[in-house]
Amino acid sequence: MPLDPDLPTEGEPDCVQVWEVPPIAPQIVEHRGERVRCPHCGVLVPAPDLPEGAFGPRLTAIGSVLHGRFRLSMRETTEVLGDLFGIALGAGSISTLCQEVQAALGEPYEAVRAQVEAETRANVDETGWKQAGERRWLWVAVTALCTFFVVAKNRSAAVLLSLLGETFDGVVSSDRYKAYLSIPLERRQVCWAHLKRNLLAFAERGGAIGDWGTEAVGVVEQVFAAWYRYKDVGDRARLQDEIAPLRRELQGLWERGTTLPSWAVRAFCNDVTKLEPALWTFVTVQGVEPTNNAAERALRPAVLWRKGCFGADSAPGNEFVARILTVTATCRQQRRGLLAYLTEVVTAHRLGQPALSLLPTRSAQG
């Protein structure tokens, strides 16, 4: 008997119902301004000042969060706003929203810059960036209270000075890039994660170089093990006792490495020997860690953003990049709502009021 095509086959539902999810309805406020003529003197009286633009502070903040925090392109941001809220925007409108947020964040951004200068330690790193196809560098400084980004034309020591401030006298954790040589060794912490990666590359070679690299990696792993025990127990005297013999062993390995038949190993060992005091700052200075992971984690969202958008097209665009990354990272550190903060900042900017600070009050810190 042939199957009736109008009847469901075995194992299939009787019907398929498609649910259309309506967009979240936005709140629309209409402002009307009417001019009136005075019946006595005949003067035309204009309407009072009305809000500028067609978008409220919250929608302005949402657009900047989608583009600057979640790394959507301008066109993707318009599509999300259309799908979620039923708001039809052009890509140029997203650029306008972001520029308003960039202007509104001027005061909080400079406050974070000043706070970094007053901190006692900072993790610093940099990565490549673009401006209209030209080479730029995105720098970051991570402190205990806030994170600060800046887009610069190069990777020089002068940029490092402007990032941290002329009066900064704390400890700088970083890799071994030459710009950091401007910081005295007693105020530096060289990243051990970078050292371990270099040593692992040497360990993968054969012969004497591979044996030397494997031995050095083993000692570095003991350094990390001692650090993790300190993190669990908090006994700094014990950490210092455990590190002392490991330091002597590594000094011998650096010296041995300068005699190996590899210019790369010899150059590496000579470089590390010059920086040797800066390897061990974490052993004696409270709050300093042996790696620069804090700065690398802070840069990771920016690196993903760069791969998707290839940088910014103008200097104002890069100002938005630096400011939105600063606010995003700092709000995350302080467990503050990013969208709520940006909405308040844009509202204050439109009313000509002081911006809400990114930094907690002294009482909150205490």
Q: Which of 16-20, 143-147, 163-167 has the lowest mean pLDDT?
A: 16-20
**pLDDT score recorded for residue 363:** 37
Higher pLDDT, 323 or 25: 323
Q: Is the pLDDT of residue 50 over 90?
A: no
CA distance 290 to 282: 6
Instruction: Give the HSE-up count for residue 151: Cα atoms under 13 Å, Cβ half-sphere.
Output: 24
**pLDDT confidence band for 362 (50 / 70 / 90):** very low
Mean pLDDT of 229-255: 97
Burial of 108 (0-12, 13-18, 19+ CB in 10 A): buried
Torsion-angle region of residue 119: left (phi > 0), alpha (psi -120 to 50) or beta? beta
Average pLDDT over residues 95-120: 96
Rounded percentage of the chain residues whose pLDDT exceeds 90: 77
Q: Is the pLDDT of residue 316 over 80?
A: yes
pTM summary value: 0.86
Tell me: pLDDT of 203 over 70.
yes
Judged by average pLDDT, the poorest of 6-15, 56-65, 176-185, 201-210 is 6-15
Average pLDDT score over the chain: 90
Using pLDDT thresholds of 50, 70 and 90, give the confidence band for residue 37.
Answer: confident
At residue 364, the pLDDT reads: 43
Cα(274)–Cα(290) distance, rounded to whole angstroms? 18
The pLDDT tens digits of the residues spanning 57-80 come to: 999 999 999 999 999 999 999 999
Whether residue 52 has pLDDT greater than 70: no
- How does residue 51 score in pLDDT terms, banded at 50, 70 and 90? low
Poorest-pLDDT segment among 12-21, 53-62, 87-96, 310-319: 12-21
Mean pLDDT of 172-185: 96
pLDDT of residue 34: 74
Diameter of the chain measured on Cα atoms: 103
Query: Residues 190, 196, 199, CA angle at the centre, nearest 5°?
Result: 120
The yes-or-no verdict on residue 347 having pLDDT over 60 is yes
- Residue 60's pLDDT is 95
Q: Which long-range contacts (CB under 8 A, 24 or more apart) does 253-260 make?
A: 253/212, 253/215, 253/216, 253/219, 256/212, 257/212, 257/216, 260/208, 260/209, 260/212
What's the confidence (pLDDT) of residue 310?
Answer: 85
Highest mean pLDDT pick, 43-57, 70-84, 257-271, 350-364 = 257-271
Residue type, 325: L
The DSSP result for 88-102, as a single string, is ---HHHHHHHHHHHH
Q: What is the pLDDT of residue 261?
A: 93
Judge whether residue 19 has pLDDT over 60.
no
Mean pLDDT over residues 40-47, rounded?
78
State which H helix or E strand residue 34 sits in.
none
pLDDT average, residue stretch 302-318 = 91
pLDDT at 95 over 50: yes
Provide, rounded to the nearest whole percent, the portion of the chain with pLDDT above 70: 90
The mean pLDDT of 83-87, rounded to a whole number, is: 87
Look at residue 314 and tell me whether its pLDDT is greater than 50. Answer: yes
Of residues 45 and 270, the one with the higher pLDDT is 270
pLDDT interval class at 91 (50, 70, 90): confident
- Residues 296-332 as b or e (16 or more Cβ within 10 Å = b): bebbebbeebbeebebbeeeebbbbbbbbbbbbbbbe
At residue 237, the pLDDT reads 96
